[in-house]
Amino acid sequence: MFSVRSAAIVAVTLWVFMLFYLSAQLFGLQGRCEEFYLRFLLCSFSLFASDRLDENHVAIRERKRVLDPEPVKKDLYSLEHEVARRLLENRIWEVYYYLHKRLLELPVSDAKVGNHTEEQLLSLLATASNFSEVEGAAEWRKKSLQGITDSIQEKIHRMQNPDNCRATKALICNLDKECGFGCQLHHVAYCFVTAFGSGRMLVLNRDGLAWRYSRKGWVGAFLPVTACKYDDVVGSLFQSDVPGPYSLVSQARVVQLGIVDGLANKPAFLPLSIPKPLSEQLLKLHSNPPAYFISQFIWYLMRNGEQFQTALDKQIAEIPFGKGPIVGLQVRRTDKVGTEANYHSVDEYMQWTEIWFKVSYNEEKIWKSSEKSHSAWKI
């Protein structure tokens, strides 16, 4: 279909052509005008054809936009790019840690210089943090990691919920290790990774009923780690009611894993290792691949039970998350201070909390400043 612009070009072309033709006939200028006519017609046709091509191109692009989904950027940046970017941000933080301590030691007379230097460093840290989000990088990273997470969780779920509990290879883990909650969770996670790496289902000894943190056992707080019951897995296999010890070469269907401290030959797949097929993607997408990988097992272990989730939801409802960023702190005391950890005052915790808020504020400030400057540009 002709557009208004196309019709106008055709009309003007015909009008000019007729004007010159009549003039040539009237004044006898045919010879000198023939070449001009030809060039004029070619030029006019080119304009007309160009206009039609532009219209068709726009129409095709519009149809393609409607029919085709938005392209997915599988690999927005290379491994080298992401490693270099994170290294740069880490180096800036290291400079900040060093100078922050030195700036605190400056005399009061140099406070102005110290404050200005710290403000510049905080702004630089915010800029480095924002750099990780340009061109939709944060969303790309999030979606890519979610794809890996879904794949790992699906495999864990299959291994933990077999069709036949009595025929599946299993690893028995004693939940109640003689230590605190965090230590116990680390122990169960170590059992879980070992089971996963060995192609075995993880089963808590006696279904985790003997647990000091809940009279109901493991399920008093979290969902069962497997759909199989301990008695169904073990059955009457062992006269002593205790499975044989775990080893990498053991062919026994059911084995029991001791604490990591007593394991003579530690498997290569224990932390800080990560699966080789995932290594390049994780190194590209995450700043700490071992932490990401072990967190997949921690997440599965700590899926909240219904009662625990209800209690958490009640507490969450009382926290004003909608009023701004909230920082959660673990102020470590109890058995660690004086033995394996030094004492740190609450003031020191608050100092680093304030630094976090300052960097966060600068991140938002830089984005807003960038948006304003872009809107002022003239194209």
- Span 24-29, mean pLDDT? 48
DSSP string, 123-160: HHHHHHHHHTTGGGHHHHHHHHHHHHHHHHHHHHHHHH
Whose CA is closest to 255, among 272, 238, 280?
238
The predicted pLDDT at position 236 comes to: 65
The predicted pLDDT at position 64 comes to: 46
- Span 10-22, mean pLDDT? 50
The predicted pLDDT at position 45 comes to: 42
**How far apart (Å, rounded) are the C-alpha atoms in residues 124 and 191?**
42
The predicted pLDDT at position 37 comes to: 45
Which H helix or E strand runs over 290? helix 289-301
pLDDT of 46 above 50: no
Q: Angle at the Cα of 180 (from 231 to 160), degrees rounded to 5?
A: 35
**How far apart (Å, rounded) are the C-alpha atoms in residues 38 and 49?**
16
Please state the length of the chain. Answer: 379
pTM equals 0.74
Give the confidence band of 376 by pLDDT, cuts at 50, 70, 90. Answer: very low
The predicted pLDDT at position 139 comes to: 96
pLDDT of 148 above 90: yes
| Alpha helix ranges (H) inside 173-219 | 181-198
The predicted pLDDT at position 205 comes to: 94
The predicted pLDDT at position 20 comes to: 52
The predicted pLDDT at position 186 comes to: 95
Percent of the chain residues topping a pLDDT of 90: 56
**How far apart (Å, rounded) are the C-alpha atoms in residues 201 and 333?**
36
144 or 326: whose pLDDT is higher?
Answer: 144
Give the confidence band of 255 by pLDDT, cuts at 50, 70, 90. Answer: very high
pLDDT of 160 above 50: yes
How deeply is 52 buried, as exposed, middle or buried, from its count of CB atoms within 10 A (0-12, 13-18, 19+)?
Answer: middle
Give the confidence band of 265 by pLDDT, cuts at 50, 70, 90. Answer: confident
pLDDT of 63 above 80: no
Give the confidence band of 366 by pLDDT, cuts at 50, 70, 90. Answer: confident
Measure Cα distances from 33 to 22, 27, 229 in Å: 11, 11, 100
User: Contact 126/366 with Cβ under 8 angstroms?
Assistant: yes
State how beta strands 254-257 and 201-204 pair.
unpaired
User: Which residues does 291 contact at the CB level (< 8 Å), separation at least 6?
Assistant: none
Q: What letter represents residue 356's amino acid?
A: W
Q: What is the pLDDT of residues 293-320, one digit of tens each?
A: 999 999 999 999 999 999 999 999 999 9
Structure tokens, 115: 């404050």
Please list the residues that pair with 255 across neighbouring strands. Answer: 171, 244
Alpha carbon dihedral 6, 11, 14, 19, in 10-degree steps, equals -140
User: Contact 241/256 with Cβ under 8 angstroms?
Assistant: no
Structure tokens, 254: 């059911």
169 or 34: whose pLDDT is higher?
Answer: 169
User: Which residues does 97 contact at the CB level (< 8 Å), separation at least 6?
Assistant: none
